[in-house]
Amino acid sequence: MGRFASTPGLILVGMLAACTGSRRPPVLWIVLDTVSAGHLALYGGRARMPAVEAFARDALVFESAWSNFPETQFSHWSMFTGVMPEAHGNIPAFGTSGHVGPTVAELLGGRAWATAAFIGGATLDGASSGLDRGFDHYDDEDLMAPPLLARPALDVSTRARDWIAGAKRPWFVFAHFFDAHFPYMPSNPGLYDPRPRSRLDGTHQSLAPYRDFGAPMDPVDLAHIVALYDAEITEMDRHVGDLLARLRGDEIVILTADHGESFEHGYLFNHRAVLYDSVLHVPLIIKAPGVEPGRARERVELLDLYPTLLTLLDLSVETPLDGRSLLEKDPGRPGRFRLAPLPEGERRFYSRTDPWLEGALLGLRTDEWKLIWNGDALTAFDLRLDPEELRPAEAPAALLDGPRDYAGKLGLHAPFTRPLPPRRPPADRPPPDPRAQDTRLLEQLGYVERPSPQPAP
Ligand SMILES: [Zn+2]
């Protein structure tokens, strides 16, 4: 943290990034699945990522970036469409979406970018997630074959680098690193806990009794498991770095996480069922031609990435987007960008758990307040007095219209949503029972079966 100047608002330090003037730069979009910003040394935490930290020195680091959906498929679909989950309509394990707007892969593929994805975890298997839509090459080979379910960072990085080496420019690559996701099994368990006093390890078998809202956990055990998680993050770094090291410097690079991980509030080793800051605060680093390095403190959300990419590439889409561009052209300096000013008034940030499950939560966050609705029940936290979200407070009247406001935003998308097409069987294997193998595998990673493809009321 101390490497950067730090004052409120936008801070710009360092040299201008090289600006090539090209409107068709390659795009590398890296997602570190399940990495909470607060655990990273880059954000004041413990887990070192030397290669990512070095990369960040020449990039724009957003200190306050928030996931809208603490679940892998929802979050990726929202990142890659720029709209909220009820609008993109993707349902985990159904592998399809009713959204008519282009995904990033469709947007760039339609303009002659070569597109490829390198997937690290089975939750983004193309057949079950549908995220392969628009990609020329979607590398999820063998991910759903037990017992693998995940691909280590070395493999993701190597595959992505090999593909880039042979690709015609411009290209768009999505690299999905899954190593920090449960279970927590670093190769060096003692990295951040050299003399562990816990007998637990980070396996599914060891942690199953405590996972989600399970049995209470001894603080010594919990500290050890958090150390394993942090070690996984650090061990992933060199492979992310190997990928970054192959770049020429004229690419657009977005590095972020789809959501964080919960080690508190009685909800352990998962992320998808709560809307506390620990599962929503994610790292976000953008490096692009014409974008000055520095640190920005404005609160931004993952929904903003799609419109930001449009700005950087000077493109537009006809369908409505829920985010806003974080950058704008600098009128005084052709080919360069500056942070876009925040909209007038207090900005609301919405988050959501799976809207297709009963008991779905809706979260509304401002700089000062967090409100969480569970149906008609409302819990509010005054973040100025209670940043750990432990003591419910009386919600301010001005924010009580959250559910109505959110529903109004969704209504804007209705003309751009088509009925969900049937679930697609994988092309290269026999049609599976849609609730059998794929779903069981997803459940092992903490995902559950969807009761029906209709949003919960
Ligand atoms: Zn995820």
Cα-Cα-Cα-Cα dihedral sign, residues 190, 191, 192, 194: positive
Q: Distance, CA 257 to ligand 1 centroid (Å)? A: 8
Helix (H, G, I), strand (E, B) or coil at 276: coil
CA triple 172-304-137, angle to 5 deg: 20
pLDDT of 10 over the 50 cut:
no
Average pLDDT over residues 101-130: 94
- Check residues 257 and 142 and name the one with the higher pLDDT: 257
Q: Distance, CA 173 to ligand 1 centroid (Å)? A: 18
Residue 448 pLDDT? 43
Q: Distance, CA 33 to ligand 1 centroid (Å)? A: 5
> Of 268, 275, 264, 302, whose CA–CA distance to 286 is shortest?
302
Tokens of residue 277, six digits: 């800051």
89: pLDDT confidence band, cut at 50, 70 and 90?
confident
Which tens digits make up the pLDDT trace of 180-200? 999 999 999 999 999 999 999
The mean of the pLDDT values for the chain is 87
Q: Distance, CA 177 to ligand 1 centroid (Å)? A: 10
What percent of the chain is modeled with pLDDT above 90? Answer: 71
Q: Distance, CA 149 to ligand 1 centroid (Å)? A: 13
What CA–CA distance (Å, rounded) separates 376 from 455? Answer: 16
Average pLDDT over residues 154-171: 96
Number of Cβ atoms within 10 Å of the Cβ of 53: 17
Q: Distance, CA 195 to ligand 1 centroid (Å)? A: 30
- Check residues 339 and 23 and name the one with the higher pLDDT: 339
CB 303 within 8 A of CB 279: no
Q: Distance, CA 370 to ligand 1 centroid (Å)? A: 22
Least confident of 104-113, 232-241, 265-274, 443-452: 443-452
What CA–CA distance (Å, rounded) separates 174 from 4? Answer: 28
- Check residues 418 and 423 and name the one with the higher pLDDT: 418
Tokens of residue 255, six digits: 């590095």
Distances in Å between the alpha carbon of 372 and those of 91, 266, 270, 392, 403?
A: 22, 17, 18, 10, 10
Q: Distance, CA 79 to ligand 1 centroid (Å)? A: 12
Q: What dihedral do alpha carbons 373, 374, 377, 378 form, nearest 10°? A: -20
Average pLDDT over residues 272-300: 95
Q: Is 343 exposed, middle or buried (0-12, 13-18, 19+ CB in 10 A)?
A: exposed
Tokens of residue 295, six digits: 């640190």
Residue 7 pLDDT? 30
